[in-house]
Amino acid sequence: MQSQSLKKTASRIFFSMCLLGYAAGSSAHNAGATLDPNGNSRSFTGVAFITCFDDGNGPADNLIGRIRDNSQPVPGLLVNLQIFKGNKANSITDTVSGDANFSPFITLQGGPGTYWIMVNKTDAGARQFDVEWHCNTRTGVHTGTDIGVMQFGEPAFTP
């Protein structure tokens, strides 16, 4: 029961940070949290959806994103970001554990609409991370961006 409560709390923290990242500015979208605060799971995963739309700056063409590991270095324990929409996907790993530098940006060109992002790690252990994302027009102008969180923790089992 305590585990479920912790997962719900972590989800709320992640969602709140996403909202704070959205409110921070029209072109700055970032959020951070801790994957697997107890450090016991290899499959702890965060899933969110990002909606890209024309906010007056032009129609959305793509979503870009990057990830940063803010934890102490642990050999072989890395954080990953995946972006997918329809039948397209792209991913990036912050390849240096705990160096506090962002990975390069990845881009997924899927037009306007809803993109999905997933954040996970390569092994058991808690990882503090930040994700940055932006919806852009074909010419690279920042356009409408909104986010919602679907899962933050272990996948629910339904028989």
Domain boundaries, the chain: 2-153
Amino acid 5: pLDDT: 47
Q: Give the pLDDT score at 149.
A: 84
Please report the pLDDT score of residue 24 as a whole number: 37
- Domain 2-153 -> CATH class: mainly beta
Pick out the chain residues at pLDDT < 50: 1-27, 159
Contacts of 65 (CB under 8 A, 6+ apart): 81, 83, 92, 105, 106, 117, 131, 132, 133, 134
Residue 52 has what pLDDT? 97
pLDDT of residue 10: 45
How many Å apart are CA 100 and CA 32, to the nearest integer? 12
What pLDDT score was predicted for residue 12?
A: 45
Report the side by side order of strands in the sheet with 106-109.
30-35, 127-136, 62-69, 106-109
Q: What is the pTM of this model?
A: 0.80
**Element at 104 (helix H, strand E):** none
Model pLDDT for residues 65-83, shown as the tens digit of each residue? 999 999 999 999 999 999 9
* Buried/exposed code over 72-100 (b: 16+ C-beta within 10 A; e: otherwise): eebeebbbbbbbbbeeeebbbbbeebbee
pLDDT at 64: 97
